[in-house]
Amino acid sequence: MAAEAISLIVHAHASWWDGLCSQLEEAIPTEPTEFINSVALRLVVVELAVRFGALLASWGVKLEPMEQEKVDTEKVLLPVLLREVLQHFKVTRAALAKELDVSKEAVDQWLATDAVVRVALVDDIAEVIAEKTGGDWTRLSAFLRAARLLTLVFKALRDRVGKETSDELVGALLRLTQVALVSFHEQVDGLDGQRRVMALGEPLSLGSALEMGQRARDAMLAREQDDFWKGAIRAMPGDWKGHLADALIFERRRCELRNIRAQEGLQFLDIDGEQMHLSGLVRALVPEDALPPALARLLHEPPEVLNKARLELSTAIYFELSSKKDEPGVWRKLMELAESCRVALREVNEEERVGWTAVMLLSYTLGAVCLMKEFCADESSDVWVWWERIGAVNQSLQSAPIVNDPRLLELPSHARGIQDSIRETWEKLDRIRQARAHATPGA
């Protein structure tokens, strides 16, 4: 049976994947994380789409590629598909119960949202429908068995990664499978029955390892709009180890930034943005040709060129933000920039330190000024809100490395003055907050 064949193929593919993961863990030991799992699952989804596309093509199914839209996982689970099949062939639940010699309540239970019926029941249901409609029960059974297999997979997936991620993966699998299906139909066009089945058997069993599977991936790449999924499509199974190694480095950098943020009292650092900041690690997510040409070229430059470009970009960002200093909330972006400079200061050489320090101090100073200006202009003066905001800025400023350097002119003294002003303002707000809390029991 085709469904049994695809089950064996998926099992073999999973075993191979487990072996690949074992090799990877030996090379770069790491605990599974949400990000690593997401990257790995995207790779698996693309390869499964190639194989499922070949399977559907061998059954003669023809579907047009779907638009890039979100899919609700619940609508592609086996119980939902069973209900749609019964409705399409005009087979009532009562009639199905009678043919299978069970109660209607039992059929209702099979069609419940979270139910996954036994394989034997799938075959029985397919046979009943085929008898009433004169169709091929083996093909319907194979379809329902495949749906059952996917239901088991995605129910487990939903429980592990959540509905939102599960919906994304299901939607991508359906979208990419349909593109692969069209590609396979085009590739075997003109072949007779047996030769067609034999040709489609190769991508069904070996996936992207052969030319037909590679062509299906090319078709996916041509239609796909999401840059992250393009990266997964480009990563052939033989390249997975390198692709995941980049993702692991990316994740380690994320953990390192979390530790830096905790150790140095950073309050505004955008970890994801910092990781992507002119870093070759971006390739763990986005294919290089999806990047702006200037950034793509920088990915191949030595560290000193990258650091210079980062400093120039950070300086440009500062001047851009300073031109918007009257806009609400710009102080937060300036604080993010200042803390990003603090992270860079941990990695640059002595010659580069003065430039990074200057941008850090300028960002801190202007950010604090913008914050205080916004605070004074707030007629509502919600003590609790401003106590929290100014407290976060105070904590970041008090831990900032402000050193005297004649090349920085008056910047360090201005920054220290801002430190004192922010600290005093926060302490006043804290006294007001505490007084109100004592005056209002339970507040």
Digit-coded pLDDT (tens) for 35-89: 777 888 888 889 889 988 898 888 777 766 656 566 666 666 788 878 888 888 8
Distances (CA, A) of 191 to 63, 185, 195, 199: 19, 10, 6, 9
∠ CA 27-28-34, rounded to 5°: 140
What pLDDT does residue 140 have? Answer: 78
Residue 214 has pLDDT above 90, yes or no: yes
Average the pLDDT over 110-124 and give the result. 80
Total residues found in the chain within this entry: 443
Quote the pLDDT of residue 278.
Answer: 42
Q: Residue 370's closest CA among 421, 326, 423, 415? A: 326
| pLDDT bracket for residue 282 (50, 70, 90) | very low
- Over residues 302-306, the mean pLDDT reads 70
* Ranges 90-94, 129-133, 213-217: which has the least confidence: 129-133
More confident residue, 282 or 227: 227
Question: Is pLDDT of 119 > 50?
Answer: yes
| Averaged pLDDT for residues 8-24 | 56
Higher pLDDT, 201 or 17: 201
pLDDT of residue 135: 72
Model pLDDT, residue 265: 78
Indicate the pTM of the whole model. 0.64
Distance of CA 212 to the CA centre of its chain: 28
pLDDT tens column, 391-427: 999 999 998 988 888 888 889 999 999 999 999 999 9
pLDDT of residue 78: 80
pLDDT of residue 83: 85
Contact present, 31 and 251 (Cβ < 8 Å): no
Mean pLDDT of the chain: 79
Per-residue confidence (pLDDT) for residue 16, from 0 to 100: 55
Which residue has better confidence, 283 or 436?
A: 436
C-beta atoms surrounding 423 within 10 Å: 17
Decide if pLDDT at 149 tops 60.
yes
Residue 268: its pLDDT value, please? 83
- Weakest-pLDDT range from 115-124, 152-161, 259-268: 152-161
Q: Which three-class secondary structure state does DSSP give residue 220?
A: helix
**What's the whole-number mean pLDDT along residues 137-161?**
75
Percentage of the chain beyond pLDDT 70 is 80
Q: What is the pLDDT of residue 185?
A: 92
Helix segments in 28-103, DSSP class H: 34-58, 78-88, 93-100
Residue 128 has pLDDT above 70, yes or no: yes
Q: Is pLDDT above 70 for 245?
A: yes
Provide DSSP, 108-157: HHHTSTT----HHHHHHHHHHHHHHHT--HHHHHHHHHHHHHHHHHHHHH
User: Which residues are within 8 A (CB) of 305 and not within 5 positions of it... i.e. 6 or more apart?
Assistant: 298
Which residue blocks in 162-239 are alpha helix, DSSP H? 163-187, 193-206, 211-223, 227-234
Q: What is the per-residue pLDDT for 11?
A: 57
**Is a pLDDT exceeding 90 seen at residue 370?**
yes
Is residue 310 pLDDT above 70, yes or no?
yes
pLDDT at 215: 96
pLDDT at 276: 46
Query: In terms of C-beta density within 10 A (0-12 exposed, 13-18 middle, 19 or more buried), how is residue 85 classed?
Result: middle
**pLDDT value at position 277?**
47
Phi, psi angles (nearest 5°) of residue 409? 55, -125
As a whole number, mean pLDDT of residues 361-389 equals 89
